[in-house]
Amino acid sequence: MSDMKPPTRVNHPPDIEIPAGNRPVVAPIYQSVKFEFESVAQTLAHFGGKQPGFYYQRDSNPTNRQLEQTLAAMQGRAEAIVCASGVAAIAGALLSLTKQGDHVLCFVETYGPTRHLIRRTLGKYGVTHSMLSVLDLAGIERELKARPTRLLIFESPSNPINRIADLAAITALARTHGALTLLDNTCAGLHQHGEFDIDVFLHSLTKFAGGHSDVMGGAVIANQELIGGLRPDFKVFGAVIDPHAAFLIQRGLKTYFLRYRAQSAQALEIAKFLSSQPTVSAVSYPGLPTDPGHSLARAQMSDFGCVVTFELAGGAAAAERLANALTLFARAASLGATESLVLPSQFMSTRDLTAEQVQISGIRPGTVRLSIGVEALEDLKADLQQALNAAAG
């Protein structure tokens, strides 16, 4: 219709078709919840899986789909689901993959919200769990032998202490005993660990993928069969990522390798610097030759990440003084972004753990976690030095 009235025209703007051979360098954001086919028959064929395309954003969206395919390729798997946050990815995977009577093996070194989901949310519906240290291979084998286990969920490097899981040993034990392996691979990044026999990779895209502290997202990455089984549940869970957020993450991925490797290199230098400080009693960073997990990390990883955790001899009070004295490190959550962050022990999630589990976790009153950004290394060292002086009182 060429003679539409203005109220109609603004709701039915003209289509702009790009000519063949003329494409945008950056894909557009498909900021549309709804898509239509040319006929009812084509729409029904789409519902039956015979007509490709898009219908409703909660099912899929071209922008979101581009991000899924990029992430799957980076992690070395066939498929991915993107959702609104990293926790949404973890929750969706756990809820979809378990049922009443199943048993889950998790670890003290697991992310706090993951522990909550397993112990409280899944526990309400009759899913049991065991919790060990990810370093306890003998204990893992005993648990898997003792009872049928549906899945094993873990991290490497762990947050915040940077413990390194033996991926080959853990996946072999799980495979032998018929358990699925879910690896929260956020700290290691999308380019690492793909060669191991991991069933499901979980990522917070808020961290290294987005990389700029301005967008939130999550991903589940696996083979075609597993993702095919998960996708119907994720559609009705409703934690869909907005296309603009997906676009920002896709944009962030363009500098992912530059940022990850630069931040890893700076983190190693910061770890060396902290190791030389008299008020620092321990430093946890897998890139350090003195770190207990260094040999295993070198065998499994090409880059060691941006998280450096250390222990102040002065305890919680010293950790608080240091965090307050830092000027370039934001006292904020998350990691993997361009700015540097500090997290003192008071901000770390251990309240749900027993005293014995806290001891196993390695988190002490004087523990401080840093996420190293891309600021000038000399400035970060100077800021840390003055803060260490202030923490010493």
Q: Read off the pLDDT of residues 163-187 as tens digits, 9 standing for 90 and up.
A: 999 999 999 999 999 999 999 999 9
Band of the pLDDT at 6, cuts 50, 70, 90?
confident
pLDDT per residue as tens digits for the range 225-261:
999 999 999 999 999 999 999 999 999 999 999 999 9
Looking at CATH, the fold of the domain delimited by 40-253 is given as: Aspartate Aminotransferase; domain 2 (3.40.640)
Predicted pLDDT at 349: 76
Q: What is the pTM of this model?
A: 0.96
- What does the pLDDT read at residue 212? 97
pLDDT one-digit tens code per residue, 313-351: 999 999 999 999 999 999 999 999 999 999 998 888 788
User: Tokens 């063949």 appear where?
Assistant: 20
pLDDT at 309: 98
Kindly tell me if the per-residue pLDDT of 15 is higher than 90. Answer: no
Residue 7: its pLDDT value, please?
A: 84
pLDDT at position 142: 98
Q: Mean pLDDT over residues 133-151, rounded?
A: 98
Q: Which of 30, 44, 388 is nearest to 243 (CA)?
A: 30
CA 320 and chain centroid, separation: 27
Query: At residue 14, does pLDDT exceed 90?
Result: no
For residues 106-114, give the mean pLDDT: 95
Q: Which residues contact 184 (CB under 8 A, 6 or more apart)?
A: 90, 110, 111, 114, 153, 154, 155, 202, 203
pLDDT > 70? residue 355: yes
Whether the per-residue pLDDT at 54 is higher than 90: the answer is yes
User: Is the pLDDT score of 73 beyond 80?
Assistant: yes
Rounded to an integer, what is the distance from CA 20 to the centroid of its chain?
A: 39
- Residues 195, 245, 17, CA angle at the centre, nearest 5°? 105
16: confidence class by pLDDT, cuts 50, 70, 90: confident
Backbone angles phi, psi at 155, to 5 degrees: -130, 155
Exposed (0-12), middle (13-18) or buried (19+): which is 15, by Cβ within 10 Å?
A: exposed
pLDDT given at position 393: 78
pLDDT at 58 over 80: yes
Please give the C-alpha separations between residue 131 and each of 135, 143, 155, in angstroms, as whole numbers: 12, 10, 13
Buried-exposed string 331-342: b where 16+ CB fall within 10 A, e elsewhere: eeebbbbeebbb
Alpha-carbon gap, residue 370 to 87, rounded angstroms: 21
Looking at residue 346, its pLDDT comes to 86
Residues 329 and 372: their CA atoms lie apart, in Å, by 9
What is the percent of the chain where pLDDT is above 70? 100
Cα distance between residue 177 and residue 184, in whole Å: 21
pLDDT band at residue 1 under the 50/70/90 scheme: low
Range 256-391 has CATH code 3.30.1360.10: no
Name the β-bridge partners of 83.
Answer: 218
Average pLDDT of every residue of the chain: 96
Q: What number of other Cβ atoms are within 10 A of residue 56's Cβ?
A: 13
CA-closest candidate to residue 327, choices 271, 270, 385: 385
369 has a pLDDT exceeding 90: yes
| SS3 at position 267 | helix
Higher pLDDT, 370 or 14: 370
**Residue 378: what pLDDT?**
98
Q: Which pLDDT band holds residue 137 (cuts at 50, 70, 90)?
A: very high
Is 22 exposed, middle or buried (CB count within 10 Å of its CB: 0-12, 13-18, 19+)? exposed
The answer to whether the peptide bond before residue 160 is cis (omega within 30 degrees of 0) is yes
Q: What is the mean pLDDT of residues 249-275?
A: 98
Stated as kind and residue range, the H or E segment containing 72 is helix 62-75
Confidence class of residue 2 from pLDDT cuts 50, 70 and 90? confident
- Under the banding of pLDDT at 50, 70 and 90, the label for residue 78 is very high
Q: What is the mean pLDDT of residues 125-151?
A: 98
Q: Between 8 and 211, name the one with better pLDDT.
A: 211
The residue written with tokens 């360098």 in the block is: 25
pLDDT of amino acid 339: 98
pLDDT for res 251: 97
Query: Can you tell me the distance from the alpha carbon of 168 to that of 302, in angstroms, rounded to the nearest whole number?
Result: 16
What residue spans define the domains of the chain? 40-253, 256-391
